[in-house]
Amino acid sequence: MSAPAGDLTVVAFQVGPGRYALPVEVCRGVVAPSGVVPLPSQGPWVLGLKELQGRSVPVISLRAWLGLGPSEARERWLLAALGSLVVLLVADHVLGVFSLQNKDLRPPMEAPPGLLPAVTGRVFRHGEGLLVELRPEALARALGLQGEAG
């Protein structure tokens, strides 16, 4: 049985005080943090490469990308396909899989020009806070990632 038109099934995760979501279709699993090979001359959010299932997968710190400092949280890595590129996104917590409904939509976020609008999709009321949908291909572009890993 498919979700009603406009509804969205997501994997939700937390980075700092923010809660974000990616469509469940792009998420491939949650990986425990382990050995990363650092890369020279990459953005500060590119932690390096991790070998996973026979592929070299970029490890991306969403905290660094968002300009947040280090965390005491026990981070988790979310394996996701951002367009044609498979990456590991470092999040503070993976909150779970949720079905979001149109009735929970909030008005679009108003943000100063240039403040992440290209990567954000809809904003949903979820629990006692907001959950911001991230658009996978726009996120890959914003992170400066191109091509295929592996």
pLDDT of residue 121: 80
pLDDT of residue 100: 83
* Whether pLDDT at 43 is above 90: no
- Residues of the chain with pLDDT > 90, as a percent, come to 34
Nearest to 35 by CA among 50, 46, 53, 47: 50
- Going by the DSSP 8-state scheme, the letter that residue 25 receives in this structure is G
* Whether pLDDT at 65 is above 80: yes
pLDDT of residue 113: 52
User: Which one of 2.40.50.180, 3.40.50.300, 3.40.50.720, 2.160.20.10 gives the CATH number of domain 8-142?
Assistant: 2.40.50.180
Question: Which value, to the nearest 10 degrees, does the dihedral of the CA atoms of residues 143, 123, 72, 52 take?
Answer: -50
Mean local confidence (pLDDT), 35-61 = 87
Domain spans of the chain, in order of start = 8-142
Q: In which band, very low, low, confident or very high, does the pLDDT at 2 lie, cut at 50, 70 and 90?
A: very low
Alpha helix (H) ranges present in 66-121? Answer: none
* Whether pLDDT at 131 is above 50: yes
- Going by the DSSP 8-state scheme, the letter that residue 131 receives in this structure is E
pLDDT 10s digits, 75-119? 789 999 998 889 999 999 999 999 887 777 666 555 545 545 678
Segments of the chain assigned E as strands:
8-15, 18-23, 27-31, 46-52, 55-61, 76-82, 85-91, 93-100, 105-106, 120-126, 129-134
